[in-house]
Every structure is written in C-alpha cells, then in structure tokens.
Structure 1
Amino acid sequence: MLEKARYIVVEGPIGAGKTTLAKRLADRLSADLLLENPAANPFLGRFYQNMERWGLPTQIAFLFQRSEQLASFNHEHNPQRRVVSDFLIDKDPLFAELTLAEDELHLYRQLYARLKPTVRKPDLVIYLQAQPEVLVERVRKRGVESERKLSEAYVERVAKRYADFFHHYDAAPLFIVNAESLNPVDKAEDFELLYSRLLAMRSYREFFGYAG
C-alpha cells in the first residue's frame, strides 16, 4: 500500500502528533509536504479562550486557508512527486458541528459547499488515536501559548468526534494507530515499526498498536 501511495494524509486530534509524523514520513519517502498553518489563523488564540464567541470566524478562516492550499496544490504540484499532508479537508465540518450554534453551522455548511475544492482522494490515510488525557499532556508539553487554556473537556469532545468520523470513513485506505501504546512521533524504534507495518499493509483498513 505505502509503496504505491502518492498522496498520503496523516490525521488525528490536537496533540496526536500528526504534523511531526507527516514530516518524518515525508523525509523518509523524499516526498513533498502539505501542512496546515494554525499559527496563521488570527482567531485561534481567542477561540481557545472563548469558543462560543470566536468559533465561527475561526472555522471560516481555516476553511479559506485549507481551500486555498488545496487549490494551489492541485494547480502547482508535480503529479510525479509524492506528497504527505497533515490535514484532510473532509474532516473540517467535524469542528464546526462541535462548536457552532445551529444558525452559524448552517452558514458554515453553505460556505463549505461553495469553497471546498475538488481534490483527488488520498491513496492512504493514517489516523493517530490517543486518550484525551494523553493528548492534553502532549499539548501542554509543547508549550504553544495559544493552546495554554485548552481544556481537557474540549479535547475529549474533539477526540470522540475524530473517532466517530474515522469509524465511518471509507473514502480511502485507512491505517489506524494507537499513539499511546506506540509513539512513532518521539521514539525512533516505534517509527521504524510503523513504517514496516505500512509497507506490509494489504487490507483497506488496518490497526497498529492495539492489544490482541
């Protein structure tokens, strides 16, 4: 699966390590990187302090950013080059449904329908899972100022939404990683194990790092 994959996406809730893993994987594969840029969202810090007030502008800003990135990628990227990304735009509504009031969600869905670019589906999606307390610990450890007031309750809701989303996801081959029992982000030996399992992947949906 991995050897033939040209467009690979690494996904997961905040703190799961998707960006770091995407970078390590792109480096190993000599692939291009397509990364989201949360620091460029002017509303994100305020959102973490007051989600009800800043949910809609934060969501719209991310939608514009990711849509423009993917549109540019479609236009400019050399199709002969492999690419690893740390976001899947199909999951964007997940956050809107989690934080927006009904009327705001209706507006967001209209914008999403208009702005979502037509992109080819990934050849492989890697989904990192971890318990909320583990995610919060990792977020605190990296010390990003805008994330300082992020609550465990919010991270728990996000993690549950991700789990629900990928439970039903079937648009591309899916490799689900338990990022607690194995840590391919911080441990070189776990990354090598992950990489070898990706090379051996043959099924449409596989699990890595789960007991039994």
Structure 2
Amino acid sequence: MNTPFFCIEGVIGVGKTTLCKAIAAHYQINCLHEIVEENPFLEKFYDDMNAWSFQTEMFFLCNRVKQLEDIKPMLRAQHPIIADYHISKNRLFARRTLDAKKWDQYERIFEILNESLPKPSAIIYLKASHEIVMERIKKRGRSFEKDMDPAYIKQLASDYDKAMIKLAKETPVVTIHTDNLDFVSSQSDLAYILTKIDSHLSSV
C-alpha cells in the first residue's frame, strides 16, 4: 500500500489551509502549507501583474518544489501527509499571468522540476460560489488581497474547474462544495468531509 499523500486545492479564499489543519489534526498526520505571504514579490505583483508576474511565479514554483522534495523521506518512511496545495496550481496561475514568451520559458522549467516530485494519492477539490469566496477573502484581511479584482477570482475558479477535469484522468479528485459547510465550528460538517476522505484512503 502506498503512503497516503493528499492535496487540497481550490480558488483563493475557499478554505484550503483551514481544512488542511483540521484534517491533519484529526488523522494526526503532517500538514504541508504553501508559502504565500513570504513571497517578497506578491504585493508588487498585485500592484502591477505584468511587471512582476515572472518573479512571483518562479518564487512560488521553486519554494513548492523544495517543499515537495523535502517530504520524500517522510513518505518513504510511511508517514502520511496532507498539503494545502497541488503543484499544478503553479502552472494554472502562471498561464494566466505570464505573456507568451515568459510562459514558454516557465513551462519548460516546470516540466523539468515536476518530473521527480511525489504524486498525490488524491486531490480534495474545494468549491464555493463567487460571492462566498469574495466574502472569505475579505474576512481574512490579507493586505495584498484587499484590492483583488473579482473578475480575476472568477476566472481563476473557471481555470480550476478545467484543471481538475484534466487532473482527474490521472489522480482521484474528491470535489466538495463548501458554501453550506463550516468545518471549523461544525463537527458534523467536518465528519462529512472525513467520510469522503476515508473512502479514498481505503483504496490507496
């Protein structure tokens, strides 16, 4: 049996990190968090995407590749892991923000780096309505997200839907609609999600 390695994905603000922590606590497993606020280019990126997109995307890619390389010994030692991102998100964001020339460069680098990374047992795909996502982004109050274009978020949600259809051909995708779920305050809501995960754990 392979060591369980789950990834949580979904558009900005949908609740990936919150659910990752809850699942990690329930199963007593390691939780891998994406590096976001530590990115020194992020605020500049949101002020001027064209000028800072390549630097921003490369920082994210290199840091996430390093994180995923670092968990290989843990997986070999049969320590399950849940991450609040899947490496494919880097390609999704970069495709939307980079011009044609930079995208071509990025894509070649991505393919090389992704070759030897551990592949997840399943992806937990969180979805929410556009209105709910925008409310959650506002509520968490990150300074670099305060002026985020709602149209950008809506486009990202569409991109995620398409990406998950493609990923599902190789990796099981567990889709969970979160508009009416509060997995922080409601144990029954969390139990509902855990039941879905358990069904996939049994087949890993």
Give the TM-score taking structure 2 as reference length.
Answer: 0.90
Equivalent-residue separation in structure 1 for 2:72 and 2:115 (angstroms):
9
1:64 partnered with 2:62: yes
Equivalent-residue separation in structure 2 for 1:73 and 1:196 (angstroms):
26
With over 3 angstroms needed to count, the CA separation of the structure-2 counterparts of 1:133 and 1:201, relative to structure 1, is same
Within 5 Å, give how 1:1-212 maps onto structure 2.
6-75=4-73, 79-116=77-114, 118-169=116-167, 170-200=169-199
Task: Identify unmatched segments of 5+ residues in structure 1.
Answer: 205-212
Task: Identify unmatched segments of 5+ residues in structure 2.
Answer: none
Where do 4+ consecutive residues of structure 1 move more than 2 Å?
75-79, 113-117, 181-189, 196-204
Superposition CA RMSD, Å: 2.3
Residues 37-65 of structure 1 deviation map (CA, whole Å, 9 limit, x = unaligned) = 10111111111222122111110110111
**Kept after mapping to 1: 8 A contact 2:4/2:201:** no
With over 3 angstroms needed to count, the CA separation of the structure-2 counterparts of 1:203 and 1:83, relative to structure 1, is closer
Give the TM-score taking structure 1 as reference length.
Answer: 0.87
SS for the counterpart of 1:57 is helix
Paired AA for residue 36 in structure 1: E
What is the Cα deviation at residue 186 of structure 1?
Answer: 4.9
SS for the counterpart of 1:108 is helix
Identical aligned residues as a percent: 30
What is the Cα deviation at residue 131 of structure 1?
Answer: 2.1
What is the Cα deviation at residue 202 of structure 1?
Answer: 8.9
Q: How many residues end up aligned between the 2 structures? A: 202
